[in-house]
Each structure stands twice: as structure tokens, then as C-alpha cells.
Amino acid sequence: MTATGPQRGSPARYVGGMVCLIGAMVTIPAGFVQMIRALERGGYGTTANTVALAWIAVGGGLLGLGIALLIWELSVRHNVRH
């Protein structure tokens, strides 16, 4: 079996992964800032605290999705199979 060279990847997957990572870099700090403000105003159990946790969760989801898309894209481009 011969090894082939790098394959052509998908630019949409690469750009989508980068957009997700940039979005995560915005939403995670924004969630933490909202969390600090919510804790200063009313403490735990408030609606603002729930919104801040939702922002942090969205940021974590975007971070995971972005990393997964970039790993997928780079494995296709460099023909990495296990």
C-alpha cells in the first residue's frame, strides 16, 4: 500500500472551525464578566446568574465544536487515519 500525499480539504470546514473558535473567545469572557456582575448584584439563584452560565456554556460548546472541526479538517488534509 502506497502512501498518498496531502488531500484537498474543505475550506468551509476550516473557516467554520475558526469562526467557532473566535466566537468562543468572545462569549466565554463575556459570560464571566456577566457572572461577576450578577454575583455582585444578587448572588446565586438569580436570573442574571442563569444567563451568565448560559453564555459560558455556549462558549464551551463553540470551543469544542471549533476544535473538533479543525482536527477533522487537518486529518483530512494530511491523510491521518487510525
17-30 residue pLDDT tens: 999 999 999 999 99
Mean pLDDT over all residues of the chain? 89
34-58 pLDDT per residue, tens: 999 999 988 778 888 999 999 999 9
- Please state the pTM of the whole predicted model: 0.83
**pLDDT score at 3:** 58
SS3 content of the chain, % helix, strand, coil (to 5): 75, 0, 25
